[in-house]
Amino acid sequence: MTAAQRLAAFASELDLAQIPDHVREAAKLHLLDTLGCGLAAHALDTAPAAREAMAELGGIGPSTAIGVPTGLSAHDAALVNGATCHALDFDDTHPGAVSHVSVAVAPAAIATAEALGLSGEDLLVALIAGNELTARIGLAASEDFHARGFHPTAVCGVFGAAAAVARLRELDATATTRALGIAGSLAAGLLEFLADGSSTKRLHPGFAAHAGVIAAALAAHGATGPATVLEGRFGVYRAFLGRDDVDIEAQLDDLGTRWETPRIAFKPYPACHYVHAPLDATVAAMSEEGLEVDAIDELVLVSPPAGVPMVLEPAEAKARPRSEYEAKFSLPYSVASYLVRGPVDVMSYTDEAIGDEQVLELAGRVRYEVKDYDTAGRAFPGGVRIRTRDGRVVERELRHQRGDAENPMSDAEVLDKFAANASLALEDSDRETLTAAVVALDRQPDLSALRLLAGARRRVPA
């Protein structure tokens, strides 16, 4: 059996009874977190293009899109929700796969489950199937997609989205393999947005979700795709990475016994994950030592090598980000924002915030060093070294960023994050109803509570 055939067999045969309780609970929290990120992004009108474009191009359909009063077709709703839920870069990431997982899988699965009139249990099983495929396909390559300039969220996420939709459509293993084979020809996503802070990155999971819906529908109607789409002579790993030694087999042998869904990391900050550990290290150093910003003589941020091209170079651009999205990929800006203005949140990256000259002046004085952490490739480590004006040297580091499975956010913290995000767009009663429905997703006979997403409001005038 090829890798796609083995993954397809797992996805098509998975049922709730096979899934451990802690995996189910993790999947529900990740769904809730993803929806909260999308609600906050809509409230701040962060990514209106996807919503407005699909509303213009599409027609009324059975699937809910955040902030769209009338439903859309499943594939259009998937695109809108994927782009919106990723717009703040606040959504979860699998550290080993270096891929945002839920934001590609969940929009495709929700849209399809709504269109087919399915239950919460159906949706939950599909989410977990899609999560597991996305993570394992990414784990086999780890940081190599980034090194070649590809965004693994888009490249890997389309397979998870296709698998989730195929599971909801009750496709058998053969048809699901065809869906994965088709998905491989729809896998795409370039990191060139880093050159100027363009908004293409926030579209990538939307494209993956949209493509996953399409791939599964085509497979359901008899279209074929290569079963060797992953490891084949012209498969994803050779085509995208130029390698023929990617060990996907190591990610397949324990399907159904090792679960990657609980290892998907939550984000405490709405910024690139390579920002988190150095930022938290700085927060710890300043608070634990009782330091004020005026006491700092030299600030050196410490990053693993993979973080440098993402959040530290080119240094001049990172010191003066030109867009809110570019600021989210600037470690100097993010740390300077904390030191000057306090806690970093969704308002730290608005157009107004990134023009703060006091923050930019400090960001321009930040230096960095590279360190080879033994947890790199499994986490997003980092640290800080501060030399004070009175000669003290204060150092802190995190080998596992906060929100990682090895340094977790509590369930209460994730729920608080959702409440803060969702409150920007929903009335308290609607937020509470949505929370209760997702927390008890496997006991929901239908998905009617998700229609509340359509009524999300914007804080910014239209």
Domains of the chain, with CATH numbers?
Answer: 3-266+409-455 (1.10.4100.10), 273-398 (3.30.1330.120)
Tokens representing residue 280 in the block: 């938290």
Amino acid at 86: H
Residues 6+ apart with CB under 8 A from 331: 274, 275, 278, 279, 301, 303, 307, 311, 312, 318, 366, 368
Among 275, 369, 286, 279, residue whose Cα is nearest residue 327: 275
Helical axes 120-139 vs 152-168, angle rounded to 10°: 150
In terms of Cβ atoms closer than 10 Å to its own Cβ (0-12, 13-18, 19+), residue 309 is middle
Q: Which helix (H) or strand (E) holds 415?
A: helix 411-422
Phi, psi for 391 (deg, rounded to 5): 95, 0
Among 90, 95, 81, residue whose Cα is nearest residue 417: 90
Phi and psi based region of residue 183 (left: phi greater than 0; alpha: psi -120 to 50; beta: remaining): alpha
Q: Please report, in tens digits, the pLDDT of each residue of the chain (462 residues total).
A: 999 999 999 999 999 999 999 999 999 999 999 999 999 999 999 989 999 999 899 789 999 999 999 999 999 999 999 999 999 999 999 999 999 999 999 999 999 999 999 999 999 999 999 999 999 999 999 889 999 999 999 999 999 999 999 999 999 999 999 999 999 999 999 999 989 888 899 999 999 999 999 999 999 999 999 999 999 999 999 999 999 999 999 999 999 999 999 999 999 999 999 999 999 999 999 999 999 999 999 999 999 999 999 999 999 999 999 999 899 999 999 999 999 999 999 999 999 999 999 999 999 999 999 999 999 989 999 999 999 999 999 999 999 999 999 999 999 999 999 999 999 999 999 999 999 999 999 999 999 999 999 999 998 654
Helix (H, G, I), strand (E, B) or coil at 58: coil
Helical axes 102-116 vs 21-43, angle rounded to 10°: 90
Q: Cα(421)–Cα(36) distance, rounded to whole angstroms?
A: 5
Are 159 and 165 contacting, i.e. CB atoms less than 8 angstroms apart? no
